[in-house]
Amino acid sequence: MPPHLRETLAAIGAYEGPGSYDGFLAALGGSPARLTVLVKRAEVALDVSDLDAGQLRDALRTAVADVGQDVWAAWPDMRTAVRVAYRAVLERLDDLWYPGSDDLVIIDGDERVLVLDHEERLFLTRADAKLRIHSVEERDAQAATCIVRCVGGVVRVGQRFGVGSADDTKGGGTEGGSPLIALAWILRYERPVDFVDPPHSAKVRLTGEGVGLLEKGIVITAVVDTLPH
């Protein structure tokens, strides 16, 4: 645990509410166990043990550009998560991550996940984008209109999904063999939007042969290699 972490977070204007850690887990994919899976499929993996503080900040800026956004910053072993400006994380990185003892996880608004682990490695990966089916309003052989809740990552129009189960602890749909369905549109308050994020609900149109498997409680997970950029 970084010494004086609470004081540092207060000094940089980080927000931690009663549900902050649960909100971080929702963005991550619903469970701390998902982090291991996400790291295994990382797009970038770097040994940062030989980098000085300035070089490490440059590596982080390369992975996720500093555009003035708020991010999730979390210390999973402490069950602590906050919303904080990414710029503040970079400026106070020495106070927020101690090599050899801490894992720091950052999730930005585009569901990119940065992990600085206690072995002084940097990973860049992506959170699972997940929807839980609340109800199926209309359905035919190739399409279904559903009421859903986003339970992980950021779900976007155009993504394709694998159909999991009501108990989707393994992240069904990111593995091979699941039927694929496509997200044609999203409505919130009867207005079209491009994306939905946790914990919000929406009406969506899903297409593909797998729509016959949709039912209340089912979780669908975006297939990683079809994520829009």
User: Residue written as tokens 């209109």?
Assistant: 145
Contact 209, 137 (CB under 8 A): no
Element (H, E) at 8: helix 5-11
**What are the φ/ψ torsions at residue 15 (nearest 5 degrees)?**
-110, 125
Place of tokens 């002084």: 120
pTM of the model: 0.71
Show pLDDT as tens, one digit a residue, over the chain (229 residues).
678 899 999 999 999 999 999 989 888 877 888 888 889 889 899 999 999 989 999 999 888 877 678 999 999 989 999 999 999 999 999 999 988 888 999 998 777 899 999 999 999 988 888 899 999 999 999 999 999 999 887 899 999 998 865 554 444 444 456 678 999 999 999 999 999 988 899 999 999 989 999 999 999 988 865 444 4
* Complete domains list, the chain, with CATH: 5-126 (no CATH), 130-226 (2.40.30.10)
Cα 116 → chain centroid: 16
List of residues 6+ apart from 11 with CB closer than 8 A:
92
Q: Looking at residue 165, what is its pLDDT?
A: 57
Cα 35 to Cα 56, 57, 75, 119, 152: the distances in Å are 21, 22, 12, 15, 12
| pLDDT number for residue 229 | 43
Reduced 3-state DSSP string for 5-31: HHHHHHHCCCECCCCHHHHHHHHHCCC
